[in-house]
Structure 1
Amino acid sequence: MASERDKVPVLVAETDDVRPFARLLRGIGLKHHASMTISGAGFEVTVEEARSMSATAWVPANLFTEFTFGDDEPACFEISLDALLQSLNIFGNAGGGAGVVPSVGGGSKKRRWAGEGEERDDEDGWRARGRERRTGMRLTWLGTGYPLSILLRDDAKGPVTNCELFTLEPDELVNQAFDEANRSVYLIMKSAWFRDALLDLPPSCQRVTFRARPQGETVADSRTTSVRARKLAESGSFSIFAEGDFGTVQFDYPYDAEVMDAFECEEAVTFSYHASHVALLGRAVQHSAKICLQIETTGFLSVQVMMPLSENQPPELNNGILDFKMNALDEEEEDE
């Protein structure tokens, strides 16, 4: 019988810089355990919040310098996302900063995200003597029942450490699929616009309302309607509204090339969501390029966060996507 040392790994993933991998995982770090699915296409890491919201990090194989998966069928198990992120940042140069995350609808106690510790470096990494340090990684997995083995090297000639993470039987996830056939709203927006709105949400608000208006919407009385309102009606628009203890905020985004790359809306819709769930998107969009926001006719929301392409990277590839899905509040919840 072959020893564990002689066994050929089912999975091998190598990279010279763990930061892109860690950045995707931190974006869904709202829970400390996650379900990880591995296939030839890469990793799919999913967490759920109170079974009413799910977040998935799609980590493509092209994010690694080497990625091989030897099974025909995908493999799935549960891991400690907290332990994985802390392992990736074991040398302190994997960009473990928490960043600016909006906090709404909750108490004063700070939420600890997976991978956060006492001290963390900023997202740009730690620099010494004008030279950027990076952490290289070789991740291997021998198959069902075996731990994830992570070999980490601090810089090209730095020290090496090996971490092993237990793999567990995964819990059953809801992870409701988005039904594009019943889609009522579709838009692609620059992340900066969406991020600024999340940062300005009132800390005391309990729900956040998304409104979409189609192009060419009829204006009741053009003589008494403001120029801005008429422009929003003509072009079509997406709005974010929230009400707190000290007033309301509203952000209106017209279908304009400076703001959106795409916008589809057949009829006016208005749906509200838990403010605490919407606020969790703040961390995910922090270093992203664009978001793709879709809403079903039932109000079921999907927000896909797209990471920027690396320099000289072919456009058909990607650097990963974060996908957040949540149900709209029903009328009774809105009235509470």
Structure 2
Amino acid sequence: MSARCEVLVASMHDLRHFGTLLRGVNFVDFATMMITNGGLTVYVEESSLVAAAAYVPAEIFDEFTYSPPIKSPSASPTPPGPSQTEEATVLEFPLHTLIDSLSIFSTGSAPSISEGRAQNRRWVRDREHGGDDDVPRGRIDAYFGATAGKTVGMRLSYAGKGHPLSLLIAEGSAEPDAKFEVTTYTVDAQPDVSFDIEETLLQLILKSSWLRDALSEIDPSCEKITLMGSPPEQSELARRPRATAAAPVFRIQAQGVFGSTEMDYPNDREVLETVHCTKPVSFSYRVAHIARAQRALQNSSKTSLRIGTDGTMNMQFLVSSPLARGGTSEAFISFRVNHIYQYLNTIDSFYGFSVPPS
């Protein structure tokens, strides 16, 4: 029997960083995975209201090999170009199942940068012939070399359309402790994870801890949160003597049954690293939708927040991961949230009417 050529082979000595990125978008049952030479993108969407994507760069893996399946040649005499033969591989899979498999031996948080550097092990080929249930060696079944310290490593592989995601887990041993196969499904088109930067009205970059602390102050009874921004020059003008109403460069306002809460952010680089606002902005969002991003926010160091002309909000969270060979790699988790009138229009479209925009 000929060896099966795998589309993806990816391994890492400590799977907690990979698990952290997947848990950041774990709020629906199924996810779409896009595989490219640059890494993995795991995309989820909830009723066209909230969408999220975890961008997992290839460099955070100790081994990452992508061999896209070659398309059948067309009837045209013109040979296919690189874009026709090496495009992304897209598949759908049950996200909860993969995360549960990753968590079977480890449910802790990702280690610190220094800890991650100290622990390094690689997948090595088995020196003995396989058993009856084995597939060709060096493809699905591979083993870890022994290493100091206790970490949980993984090897993820995918053989192409119709095949499952195969996952090998090793907990501080020279051989895999568990093997999982996660069912995959065919996807007709790639999901749209883009955000039109040209239509941005407000952009902020700040420490995630500032935003995390602000959202933690919101009363649980609140159902709506309003984000407001003003051009920095208007904010500075309002600080002058005789100014009657201060215009904060950024304000978070939450309204609930028992009252409202307001949190203002000054135009200070110690608080807001970057501020770009072309005109006054005010859009409201459902707290339940923003809450989907709490886990990603918790594990990130910086947050980029953008609001477009149509009120769509994009939050991008920077998550740093230590590399086995030293240094760090920057992964991202991105969320796209519709503002509250987009949400109502989505619901009301079933009844034949819509709510006018704010």
Q: TM-score, normalised by structure 1?
A: 0.79
Within-5 A mapping of 1:301-320:
301-308=313-320, 310=322, 318-320=329-331
Secondary structure class of the residue paired with 1:319: strand
Verify: 1:24 aligned to 2:43, yes or no. no
Could you give the per-residue CA deviations for residues 15-55 of structure 1, whole angstroms, max 9, x where no partner exists?
Answer: 00000000000000011210111111111101111111101
Distance, in Å, in 2 between the alignment partners of 1:332 and 1:12 is 40
Unaligned residue ranges in structure 1 (runs of 5+): 97-130
Conserved in 1, the CA contact under 8 Å of 2:60 and 2:321? Answer: no
Match in the other structure for 2:168? 151
Distance, in Å, in 1 between the alignment partners of 2:182 and 2:320 is 29
Verify: 1:188 aligned to 2:205, yes or no. yes
Match in the other structure for 1:125? none
Could you give the per-residue CA deviations for residues 32-79 of structure 1, whole angstroms, max 9, x where no partner exists?
Answer: 210111111111101111111101000110110010101122111111
CA spacing shift, 1:328–1:176, aligned 2, 3 Å: farther
1:309 deviates by 5.1
CA spacing shift, 1:159–1:330, aligned 2, 3 Å: closer
Verify: 1:37 aligned to 2:51, yes or no. no
Q: Of 305, 308, 312, which residue of structure 2 is paired with 1:300?
A: 312
Distance, in Å, in 2 between the alignment partners of 1:324 and 1:17 is 26
Conserved in 1, the CA contact under 8 Å of 2:204 and 2:304? Answer: yes
1:199 deviates by 1.5
Secondary structure class of the residue paired with 1:285: helix
Amino acid at match of 2:293: L
Conserved in 2, the CA contact under 8 Å of 1:93 and 1:133? Answer: no
Runs of 4+ with deviation above 4 angstroms? 171-174, 311-314, 331-335
CA spacing shift, 1:292–1:248, aligned 2, 3 Å: same
Secondary structure class of the residue paired with 1:308: strand
Larger Rg: 2
Unaligned residue ranges in structure 2 (runs of 5+): 69-85, 111-147, 345-354
Conserved in 2, the CA contact under 8 Å of 1:304 and 1:321? Answer: yes
Amino acid at match of 1:290: K
Match in the other structure for 2:335? 324
Q: Of 173, 177, 184, which residue of structure 2 is paired with 1:160?
A: 177
Distance, in Å, in 1 between the alignment partners of 2:253 and 2:288 is 14
Distance, in Å, in 1 between the alignment partners of 2:343 and 2:272 is 33
Secondary structure class of the residue paired with 1:280: helix
1:252 deviates by 1.0
Conserved in 1, the CA contact under 8 Å of 2:52 and 2:336? Answer: yes
Verify: 1:75 aligned to 2:89, yes or no. yes
Verify: 1:219 aligned to 2:238, yes or no. yes
Deviates more, 1:243-252 or 1:214-223: 214-223
Conserved in 2, the CA contact under 8 Å of 1:55 and 1:324? Answer: yes
Conserved in 1, the CA contact under 8 Å of 2:232 and 2:275? Answer: no
Distance, in Å, in 2 between the alignment partners of 1:331 and 1:36 is 27
Distance, in Å, in 2 between the alignment partners of 1:74 and 1:200 is 42
Within-5 A mapping of 1:55-74:
55-71=52-68, 72-74=86-88
Secondary structure class of the residue paired with 2:232: coil
Distance, in Å, in 1 between the alignment partners of 2:199 and 2:97 is 39
Within-5 A mapping of 1:151-300:
151-157=168-174, 160-170=177-187, 175=192, 177-217=194-234, 218-219=237-238, 222-223=241-242, 225=244, 229=246, 233=247, 237-300=249-312
Distance, in Å, in 1 between the alignment partners of 2:46 and 2:297 is 18
CA spacing shift, 1:267–1:17, aligned 2, 3 Å: same
Distance, in Å, in 2 between the alignment partners of 1:278 and 1:174 is 21
Match in the other structure for 2:120? none
Amino acid at match of 2:335: F
Conserved in 1, the CA contact under 8 Å of 2:168 and 2:176? Answer: no
Distance, in Å, in 1 between the alignment partners of 2:177 and 2:99 is 17
Verify: 1:87 aligned to 2:101, yes or no. yes
Distance, in Å, in 1 between the alignment partners of 2:343 and 2:296 is 29
Distance, in Å, in 2 between the alignment partners of 1:205 and 1:171 is 39
Conserved in 2, the CA contact under 8 Å of 1:11 and 1:142? Answer: yes
Secondary structure class of the residue paired with 1:59: strand
1:139 deviates by 0.8
Distance, in Å, in 2 between the alignment partners of 1:173 and 1:210 is 31
Distance, in Å, in 1 between the alignment partners of 2:13 and 2:193 is 35
Conserved in 1, the CA contact under 8 Å of 2:49 and 2:343? Answer: no
Amino acid at match of 1:249: T
Match in the other structure for 1:105? none
Amino acid at match of 1:284: A
1:94 deviates by 5.2
Q: TM-score, normalised by structure 2?
A: 0.74
Distance, in Å, in 1 between the alignment partners of 2:174 and 2:99 is 22
